[in-house]
Structure 1
Amino acid sequence: MFKNYFKIAWRNLLKNKGYSIINIGGLALGMAVTLIIGLWMNDELTHNNNFENKSRFAQVFQSQTFNNNTGTGPAIPLPLEPALRERYGDNFKHLIMSSWNTSSYIKYGEVNLSRLGNYMQREAPEMLGLNILKGEKDGLREVNAIMLSASTAEAFFGEINPIGKTVRISNEHDMMVTAVYEDMPYNCSFSDLDYIMPWDHYYNTQEWMQNSNDNWQNNSFQMFVEIADNTTMEGITNAIIDIKKNADEDVVQYNPRIFLFPMDDWYLKGNFENGVQTGGRIRYVWLFGIIGAFVLLLACINFMNLSTARSEKRAKEVGIRKSIGSQKGQLIYQFLSESFLVVLFAYIMAVIIVLLCLSGFNDLARKEIEFPWTSSIFWLISLGFVIFTALLAGSYPALYLSSFKPVDVLKGTFKAGRYAGLPRKILVVVQFTVSVAFIIGTVIVMQQINHAKNRPIGYDREGLIQIPTFSQDFNGKTDLMREQFISSGAVVEMATSSSPTTRIWSNRSGFTWEGKPDGFQEDLAWTEVSAEYGKTLNLKIIEGRDFSREFASDSLGVLINETAKTYLGMENPVGQLLRDTDEEDPSPPLKIIGVIEDIIAQSPYEPVKQGVYVYDRHDNFSYYNLRLNPNQSANQSIAVIERVFKENFPAIPFEYDFVDEEYAAKFAAEQRIGTLSGIFTGLAILISCLGLFGLTSFVAEQRTKEIGVRKVLGASVFNVWNMLSKDFLKLVVISCFIAVPIAYYVMNGWLQEYPYRVILKWWIFVLAMFGAMGVTVLTVSFQAIRAAKQNPVKSLRTE
């Protein structure tokens, strides 16, 4: 019986090749989009799934409040570790202190490369579940040990066994390789862990760390934990939440709250606003999930529309089948088998499309997704997906066609009825409502990105490069390097800074000034710079002046940004002093010598943070900032800069970043979302137009004789085009009026997450409406004009 169903279904597909191509092609596109989105969502949702103990893994976070604004992050003080071990040690299976992800220069023989890694405590390899390929798992027990990832070991040693070999770190310390571990997967929070070095080595070589043993205000560290089996995240958080507040009276004013942030939330729900977790990337997962579902729905609507539109042609078939004994259920099975066959072919095509597009999609989405050929779960889900889609696409046509009365059909008195086309019209409205909403959403996303991109950033990023200086070799050579770089002709100015231009690495408090309100809790972004920083970046001085080597007093000078001027409540800040409130070891007061235009150093979608730029008196810098000579090519200048660099630092690899590229990276996530949304929106419109094209061609075919009569009676091509087009155009206009308020509500809510955001303009909605109507006219016109130009003699010949 089922074999017969599929045989008839196959014949029907061959008999109506045009409609079959539209049906299968539209469904294939819709299913391909859904498949790709499904693979992307799976990759997002399985982030960090390589950790078997993921549900018990957490990072220690801290919230602090400054002037009723609560900030939350992973930075914690050093004395928190012994406090947790002594009082709550039984609650943790592992408790690991870690540095921030650090770039180090590693040298072995002639190979000298920069790699990212962490200093971690001894239990880190066990807690992270590292797969040790060579050496021993307890590879951090010696203070001069280093563990390397497999790719890093291969880069330095090739086929040579690295265990026991000595590498030079930042031209300062010799470390012995004790283990090689398998690289962490790319969709893991530790994917860039190229090396691990002992925490004790970090502590022993950094005097500032040793001075932080009892300092609860120096939040310069991070901590990872695995909780014990008989505990919960919530229970431990409730126990430790006030541990910092109880340990140091000086920090009580900031209301510090310590809590465990589960690994399950690191990647997808990592955003906090005023101390409250507000989501994160999870919103994009749901967004694309909704897009995938709607795109599939659009493709299914095409199938429903074309199947029911051809109802009169299938009516006699239904009548004959029923008259010779076919039951309604058998007819339903027959039509569902046709649906299943179409969906099966569409799925095979969709898989082919996905395979062809997956590499490009990975490049665009910055993923390494592979097609899961060997996953039995994937194929079971695929089978369910095919069955679900077949039922979704075929249920309405099956129920509709199987309900015809055989007597009316065979007498020739069957009429589709006045409202028979109403469901198809509703489905067309749904299709274009979704498509128009997608268009509006994509335009607004791109507008928001461009709005932030066009925001004044306070400095000239073109022709500006930064060179990392993570080695003691750079100390004491700033003036020499500046002189050599400028004299080479490749650079017009150079300055140092304690953080990159596009980031804030340090925040300070503990200052007082004239007119400071009682109880005011300052939080200032802190950057130490050399005298030429303003000239190198082409900063705009609003008040006062820039740093100058001609004034010895500038060694205690400070520049503040416009936001800091308002934040500190200073009408005339130039000449005022910022005094240290540390009574035991106060620093000299800092004199404000100038106010600069706000520099965007954090997210371009957020307000600029109040910042101070302090003259660097102690070689406390991490970057050289170089302004390239605009009169010669960048490549030529870089080559000269590299030569000068190598002459002075032969043991350190030459690395640099263009600041404009670093700044552009701040838009990467939103840019990818906007691009992907645009692609999916285009496919949604294409699928909708495919359905419209099929419906138009069928309507034109149904009304062939009517068109012939009208032409004989003098109707023009325009009259015929207008007759066939106006009904579809009305449906699209209705769709627009439904889509606009929905899109406005959704996108306005999305924009509320950005303090610095675009204002929704009326023309965006009008443009989307006219765009949808224009596409409709073009799609319908092809078939309408084609039908209107046919010779009426041919269409009337059989009358």
Structure 2
Amino acid sequence: MIKSYLTIAWRNLVKNKGYAIINIGGLATGMAIAILIGLYIFDELSWNKNFKNYARIARVLVNNENSSGWYQQWGTATPLAAEIRAAYGGDFDQVLLSSQGMTAVLSTGDTKISQDGYYFEPGVADMLSFEMVRGSRDGLRNPESIMLSESAAKSLFGSDDALNKSVRIDGQTELMVTGVYKDIPANADFNDMRFVLPWQLAVQKNFNNNNGNQWDHNGFITWVQITGKTDMATVTHRIKDVMLKRVDAEFAQHKPQLYLHPMSRWRLYSEFESPQHAGGRIRFIWLYGSIGCFVLLLACINFMNLATARSEKRAKEVGIRKSVGSARKQLISQFFSESLLVTLLAFCFSLVLSQIAIPLFNSVAEKQMHIPWDNAMFWLSGLTFVVFTGLCAGSYPALYLSSFQPAKVLKGGSGSSRSGALPRKVLVVLQFSVSITLIIGVIVVFRQIEFGKSRSLGYNQDGLIYTWTPTREIHDHYDVLRHELLGSGVVTSMAESVNTPTNVGFHIGGYDWTGTGIGDGGFGTAWVSPDFGKTMGWDFIAGRDFSYEFASDSNAIILNESAVKFMHLENPVGQTIKSTIFDKTTTYTVIGVIRDMLQESPFEPVGKTIYMFDKGMWSKNGGTLVNLRINPGMNTREALIEIERAWKKYDPSSPFQYTFVDADYARKFSEEERIAKLAFVFAAMAIGISCLGILGLASYMAEQRTREIGIRKVLGATVTNLWALLSKDFVVLVLVSCAIAIPVAWYFMNGWLQNYSYRTDLSWYIFVAAAIGSLIITLLTVSYQAIKAAMANPVRSLRSE
């Protein structure tokens, strides 16, 4: 019986090749998109699950309050880890202190590579379940040791065994390799960690600025692994007031409370809306998941529409089958068999399409996904997917066609009533409503990106680069290097800074400008050398820039507009501000006010920022930046060669690595641009699938109205008249779709824009453009079949009738 069903199904597909191609092509495209989105969602949901202790690892955050509300502190004080271990050790398997992620130059012999890594307390290898290639997980207990990832070890030593070999860090410290671990997978945090240094080495090098007992310096990270006998919420409640009991009275006014942010939520819930509620990338999971479901739904609608539209071709078959005794359930089985066959063929083609598209999809999504051909769960999921889609896509045709009355169809009727076309129209409206909604969404996302790019930066990016200095050699020879580069005409200005022009980095509290001794937190703080403002192209509202000529500038600061507004200072230049940083209270004098310089998110207000004179406190171990503005009159490539030559003269041990500021700033739009690109592709696919359905229906309609078209032509109807006749039904359906899609799109996109403080508006012409575009696409799709039918010879069509 099943063989008979499949044989008949195959013959119907071969007999109607055009409709088979449209059906299978539409379903295959929808399935391919669903597969790619499914792989994307699986990759996101499996983030960090390679760590064996995944469910019990957390990062310690600090929630604070000030006059502006609550704010979150991602860094912690150095003594926090020891305090937690001492007071609540029974709740934790591990409590570890680490540095922020950093970049260092690793060298051995003539080989030098720049890699990312951390200073970490012993125990990190167990916490993160390192898979050791060589050595043991206890390697960091020696303060003169280093652990390398497998790729870093290969880059340094090739095929040689790296264990017990010597590696120099930033051309200064000689360390011994005590362990080599497998690279952490791409879909995990720490995936860029190519080396780990012992925390004790940081203490010896005074990396932590002797802050072992300071509770007000929050530049480090505390990681924990709770025991299996408790849970995150319980432990968070127990430790939440640890800092409050230790900080001074001024800091205690901010009511610091500890919060354990579980590893399971790092990826998808990293943007906190309140101390208890977080969002983030989870919205992309819902977004792409919804798009995948909708696109697959559009493909299924095509199948249902085309199957029911051709019901008259199958009417006599149904009538004869029922007359010779076929039960309705047998007919339903027949049509479900055809649906499952089409779906199976579409699934096979969708796998081919997915394999072809996945490199491009990975490029856009910045993933390293692949189709798991050898995974039994994938094939089981695929089979379930085929059956579910086949049953959904074939449900309406099976139930509809099997309901025809044999007496009526054998007498020449179609077996369907005039209302039979209504479900098809509803489905077409649903198709285009989804497609138009996606089109509007894509337009809004692109407009938001352009809106962010059009914001005034407050500085000039042209020819501006920055380069990181891993050692202190450049700082020690800074004046002579600056004199040499300026004298050669390669650069027009040059300055040091602690952070890049596109990132303030440090947000520090404890500033007192009221004279009451009560400070308020959250100021972005940037340490810069004189000429930084000239190099950036600062626009001064009042006062002046830093200068080497004024000795008093060592305790001078420059404020941006947002800081002045926050402080409510009417005449800021000349006023004094006290600050307690690194347990030392200093009085600063405001010497200038600049227009806001956009250094962080282009979609958020410019933060209140204080610029301080860099006295070299950050340069003793290297790790600062040099900003250079290339002479616009020089060839950029030649200028970079000349800068590198001078650079190597004073720091031959470090590679010269530079970043163009405009490219660095452009990366701030990467997430939105990724959404826009993927949404554009999905919207284009959705429109394409909808157009395939429209093309099939238009072809069928023209075929069914052959005699009517012939008669109208004989009576004098023009090609234009007939084109309008055959197109108007689809135009009406698209207009109805627009009426549904526009308010839906407005609701969802307006909600999406609320995520941004600086956002574009939902202009009326966006919706008009989407509606007109949909109409044009529909008319172009329908026109081929309509004009072809209108230009046919009426004599031939009437003779055949």
Q: TM-score, normalised by structure 2?
A: 0.98
Q: 1:226 to 1:522 in 2, by over 3 A?
A: closer
Alignment of 1:151-230 (within 5 A): 151-206=151-206, 208-210=208-210, 212-230=211-229
Q: 2:121 corresponds to which residue?
A: 121
Residue of structure 1 in register with 2:735 after alignment = 733
Q: Distance in 2 between the 1:195 and 1:664 partners?
A: 28
User: How far has the Cα of 1:395 moved from its partner?
Assistant: 0.5
Tell me the distance in 2 between the aligned counterparts of 1:741 and 1:752: 17
Measure, in 2, the Cα distance between the counterparts of 1:205 and 1:368. Answer: 38
Which residue of structure 2 aligns with residue 92 of structure 1? 92
Q: How does 1:339-350 map to 2 (within 5 A)?
A: 339-350=339-350
Cα distance change on mapping 1:787 and 1:650 into 2, 3 Å: same
* TM-superposed deviation, 1:415: 5.0
> 2:537: which partner in 1?
538
Equivalent of 1:713, from 712, 715, 732? 715
Contact 1:71-1:273 at 8 Å conserved across structures:
no
Cα distance in structure 2, aligned partners of 1:146 and 1:64: 36
Percentage of matched positions with identical amino acids: 45
Q: CA deviation at 1:516?
A: 6.1
**Residue among 645, 649, 653 paired with 1:651:** 653
Contact 1:516 1:568 (8 Å CA) reproduced:
no
Report how far residue 207 of structure 1 moved.
6.0
Matched, 1:432 2:429: no
- In structure 2, what residue type is equivalent to 1:529? V
CA offsets 1:488-519 (integer angstroms, 9 cap, x no match): 32211100001111112212222322x56885
Equivalence for 2:612 = 614
| SS of equivalent to 1:254 | coil
Partner Cα distance (2:747, 2:226) in 1: 42
When residues 349 and 516 of structure 1 are mapped into structure 2, their CA distance, relative to the original with a 3 A threshold, is farther
User: For 1:315-342, what per-residue CA distance to the aligned partner results, in whole angstroms no more than 9, with x for missing partners?
Assistant: 1000000000100000001001111111
In the alignment, structure 1 residue 604 sits paired with structure 2 residue 599: no
Give the number of aligned pairs: 796
- Aligned residues of 2:722 and 2:790 also touching (Cα < 8 A): yes
1: CA distance between counterparts of 2:773 and 2:335? 36
SS of equivalent residue, structure 1 residue 190:
coil
Matched, 1:523 2:525: no
CA–CA separation in structure 2 for the residues paired with 1:373 and 1:298: 27
**Structure 1 range deviating more: 561-570 or 163-172:** 163-172
Aligned to 2:794: 792
- Matched to 2:231, the amino acid is T
Per-residue deviation at 1:578?
Answer: 1.2
Q: Which residue of 2 aligns with 1:378?
A: 378
Post-superposition, which runs of at least 4 consecutive aligned residues in structure 1 deviate over 6 A? none
Taking structure 1 as reference, are residues 56 and 350 closer, same or farther at Cα in structure 2, changes over 3 Å only? same
**Using a 3 Å threshold, how does the CA distance of structure 1 residues 155 and 46 change in structure 2: closer, same or farther?**
same
Amino acid at match of 1:341: L
Secondary structure at 1:247's aligned position in 2? coil
Match of 1:685 in 2: 687
The residue matched to 1:76 in structure 2 has which SS? coil
Contact 1:70 1:273 in 2 (8 A): no
Partner residue in 2 for 1:593: 591
Match for residue 569 of structure 1? 568
Deviation at 1:584, TM superposition (A): 8.2
C-alpha separation between the residues in 2 aligned to 1:182 and 1:208? 29
Q: Give per-residue Cα distances to partners, 1:38-87, cap 9 Å, x unaligned.
A: 11111111111101221111111111122142222431111111110111
Q: Please, what is the CA RMSD of the aligned residues?
A: 1.5
Q: Secondary structure at the match of 1:336?
A: helix
Q: Which residue of 2 aligns with 1:140?
A: 140
2:757 maps to: 755
Instruction: Report SS of the residue matched to 1:255.
Output: coil
Residues 171 and 471, structure 2, Cα contact 8 Å, conserved in 1: yes
C-alpha contact (below 8 Å) 2:473/2:650 kept by paired residues: no
C-alpha change, 1:568 and 1:517, in structure 2 (3 Å) is farther
Contact 1:67 1:520 in 2 (8 A): no
Query: Where do 5+ consecutive residues of structure 2 fail to align?
Result: none
The answer on 1:696 being equivalent to 2:698 is yes
What residue in structure 1 maps to residue 458 of structure 2?
Answer: 458
Query: Shift of residue 475 of structure 1?
Result: 3.2
Does the residue aligned with 2:774 lie in a helix, a strand or coil? helix
Sort the Cα spacing of 1:279 and 1:580 in 2 relative to 1 into closer, same or farther, 3 A.
closer
Aligned to 2:141, the other structure's residue is in SS state coil
Q: Distance in 1 between matches of 2:198 and 2:580?
A: 35
Q: In terms of mean alpha carbon deviation, does 463-472 or 181-190 score higher?
A: 463-472
Counterparts of 2:207 and 2:671, CA distance in 1:
38
Q: Please give the secondary structure, in 1, of the residue aligned with 2:419.
A: coil
Q: Which residue of 644, 665, 668 corresponds with 1:666?
A: 668
Aligned counterparts of 1:125 and 1:480: Cα–Cα separation in 2 = 44
The alignment partner of 1:184 has SS state of: coil
SS at match of 1:420: helix
**Contact 1:171/1:473 (<8 A) preserved:** no
The alignment partner of 1:284 has SS state of helix
Partner of 1:505: 505
User: How has the CA–CA distance of structure 1 residues 732 and 207 changed in structure 2, closer, same or farther, with 3 Å as cutoff?
Assistant: closer
Contact 2:64 2:73 in 1 (8 A): no
SS at 1:797's partner residue? helix
The answer (yes or no) to whether the contact 2:512–2:520 under 8 Å persists in 1 is no
Name the CA distance, whole Å, in 2 between partners of 1:399 and 1:47.
43
Residue pair 1:119, 1:196 contacting (<8 A) in 2 also: yes
Superposed CA deviations along residues 622-650 of structure 1, whole A, max 9, x for unmatched, are 10000011112211111111111111111
Q: Quick one: distance in 2 between partners of 1:319 and 1:416? A: 12
Question: Counterparts of 2:196 and 2:512 in 1: how far apart (Å)?
Answer: 41
Q: Cα offset for 1:549? A: 2.8
Q: Secondary structure at the match of 2:600?
A: coil
- Deviation per CA, 1:230-267, whole angstroms, max 9, x where unpaired? 11111100000111101224321111110111111000
Q: 1:518 to 1:148 in 2, by over 3 A?
A: closer
Separation in 2, partners of 1:255, 1:365: 40
Offset of residue 112 of structure 1: 1.3
Deviates more, 1:63-72 or 1:180-189: 63-72
SS in 1 for 2:234: helix
Question: Which segment is superposed worse, 476-485 or 607-616?
Answer: 476-485
Could you say what secondary structure the match of 2:277 adopts? strand
Structure 2 CA distance for partners of 1:427 and 1:582, relative to 1, 3 Å = closer
Change (3 A) 1:225 1:313: same
Deviation for aligned residue 1:724: 0.6
Contact 1:536-1:625 within 8 A present in 2 as well: yes
Q: Distance in 2 between matches of 1:88 and 1:465?
A: 48
Q: Shift in Å at residue 520 of structure 1?
A: 5.7
CA shift digits 1:564-611 (9 cap, x unpaired): 110111111111111236898432x21111111111111111111100
Cα deviation for residue 313 of structure 1 reads 1.1
Cα distance change, pair 94–721 in 1 and its aligned pair in 2 (3 A): same
Aligned to 2:241: 242
Structure 1 distance, partners of 2:463, 2:625, is 16
Cα 1:502–1:421 change in 2 (3 A) is same
Q: Distance in 2 between matches of 1:523 and 1:705?
A: 78
Are the aligned partners of 2:99 and 2:221 in contact in 1 as well (CA < 8 Å)? yes
Q: Higher mean Cα deviation, 89-98 or 466-475?
A: 466-475
Structure 1 residue 413 displacement after superposition: 3.8
Letter in structure 2 aligned against 1:236: V
Contact 1:464 1:658 in 2 (8 A): yes
Q: Give SS of 2:462's match.
A: coil
- Higher alpha-carbon deviation: 244-253 or 35-44: 244-253
Distance 2:582 2:687 in 1: 68
1:660 to 1:209, Cα distance in 2 relative to 1, 3 A: same
